[in-house]
Amino acid sequence: MKISQELMDAMVDQMNYELLSEFAYIAMASHLKKDGLDGFANYFMVQAAEERFHAMKFYNYINEQGGHAKIAAIPESINSYDSVLAIVEEALEHERRVTARIYNLMDIATKDREYATISFLNWYVDEQVEEEDNMQSMIDKLNRIGENKAAFYHYDEQLAARVFTPPVK
Ligand code: OFO
């Protein structure tokens, strides 16, 4: 194996965290679906599909580098929230945690002068900017909507249109 054990272990850990992210978003979708908010539920199911894509990208890279992509136990997701806003706020906090983890991986890869892995991780650095921005925009929109029920349900309808498109790279 070409890359250090420390870096490989951290990569495998991150693959598992992306799977945890997938489950966390399915749990959010499930809560929203139960409340009849099909558009919001769809949005988070698409988010979950993105997380699966992120995890499999790690899976493929770990294998290419001669590592073993071991699957860990996934802790229970949060299954209950007080409001839609609380869900999206947790999603933003979650994405911030992911960004910190990617930066930590980048620190190890930089210390190791592991340029191929730095290049691989750059995709996630860029992706996290979008992930955090999406959640922040949703929070801003929900705050603008406030107590306006018609605007809220209109937004729910709009979110039903989100589809998962696998990135080209
Ligand atoms: Fe994989 O970026 Fe969100 O969690």
Query: In the predicted model, what is the mean pLDDT of residues 23-38?
Result: 98
Q: How much of the chain exceeds pLDDT 70, in percent? A: 99
DSSP labels, 31-44: HHHHTT-HHHHHHH
Task: Check pLDDT > 80 for residue 1.
Answer: no
The pLDDT score that the predictor gives to residue 127 is: 96
**In the predicted model, is pLDDT for residue 132 greater than 90?**
yes
- Using a pLDDT cut of 90, give the percent of the chain over it: 96
Q: Which atom of ligand 1 is nearest to the CA of 21?
A: 4
Average of per-residue pLDDT across 79-93: 98
Q: For residue 17, give the nearest of 98, 89, 87 by alpha carbon.
A: 98
Contacting residues for 128 by C-beta, under 8 A, at least 6 apart: 95, 98, 99, 102
Please tell me the number of Cα atoms within 13 Å of 55 on its side-chain side: 20
The pLDDT assigned to 67 comes to 97
Tell me what the mean pLDDT of segment 24-35 comes to.
Answer: 98
For the chain, the domains span 5-159
Q: 5-159 is classed in which CATH architecture?
A: Up-down Bundle (1.20)
Given ligand 1 and candidates 14, 19, 51, 96, which is best to mutate, with the most ligand atoms within 8 Å of its CB? Answer: 51
pLDDT, mean over the chain:
97
Q: Quote the pTM value.
A: 0.96
Site to probe by mutation for ligand 1, drawn from 21, 45, 97 as the one with most ligand atoms within 8 Å of Cβ, is 21
Helices marked H in 82-166: 84-111, 115-145, 149-159
What is the C-alpha to C-alpha distance for residues 159 and 40, in angstroms, rounded to an integer?
6
Q: What is the mean pLDDT of residues 72-97?
A: 97
Q: How far apart are CA 3 and CA 127, in angstroms?
A: 23
